[in-house]
Structure 1
Amino acid sequence: MSKRRYNNYNNDFYHSKEWKQLRLQALERDLYQCQECLKQGKHTFASTVHHIVPLRADKSEALRVDNLETVCASCHNLLHPEKLKGIKAKKRVNRVHKLRGVVFHANPKN
């Protein structure tokens, strides 16, 4: 049985030589800086490479370096809220939003 952390249909892709080379190219291009944090004027070390157009949406974009951006773990979690499960994960996302100044308001009653 596989001991991989995530068991999904993209495991083989993310362990391929092509992906590893392209991932390193994106990290070096972005100087290991989170591109989402940079948009807010923050400099954050990052080691995660994110597909802007997800693999599930368009597999032809999988190995295009201009479809990749380097992001920190916090930003990657915000970009993929569907992957977070459980109350602790939801609290973590809310805490990150709060630190970034994002405020959620309840819908007004009609």
Structure 2
Amino acid sequence: MNEYRTKEQKIRFYKSKEWKGLRLKVLARDNYECQECKRNGFVYTDTHDPEKHKRLDVDHLKEIEDYPELALEIDNCEVKCIPCHNKKHNRFQKRRKKIFWDDEKW
């Protein structure tokens, strides 16, 4: 059975042709839409450039380090936008400060 505990093992897995093929199948199955956004009444899609999918991730519902036997099971995967995926894993991106002007700058 494969182990996915170290960073190197995970990198090797996510670079594998088996994962890349499954990822494309999951994206197509989920219509390139974030399933978490859909559950919450929103639609986040990336159909404008389906070959790049830079704003969509394929998430393992049961994590591969805990359930390595499910790593390549399509039913254990779903599409999530990066903000939803980061929220699930408690990863937050730095937000830029908004700048407000006191007077008009011309």
State the TM-score, normalized to the length of structure 1.
0.67
Counterpart in the other structure of 2:10 = 10
Q: Tell which deviates more after alignment, 18-27 or 38-47.
A: 38-47
1:66 is paired with a residue whose SS is helix
Distance across 1 between alignment mates of 2:35 and 2:24 = 15
Q: Which has the higher contact order (CA 8 A, sep 6+)?
A: 2
Counterpart in the other structure of 1:54 = 63
Distance across 2 between alignment mates of 1:78 and 1:37 = 12
Q: Which amino acid aligns with 2:10?
A: N
Identity %: 41
Aligned length: 80
Provide structure 1 residue ranges, at least 5 long, that are not aligned to the other structure: 1-6, 93-110
RMSD: 1.8
Q: Which amino acid aligns with 1:54?
A: E
Distance across 2 between alignment mates of 1:47 and 1:34 = 7
CA distance 1:91–1:33, shift in 2 (3 Å): same
Matches within 5 A, 1:60-99: 60-81=69-90, 84=91, 89=92
Structure number with the higher helix fraction is: 1
Counterpart in the other structure of 1:107 = none
Runs of 4+ in structure 1 displaced over 2 angstroms?
89-92
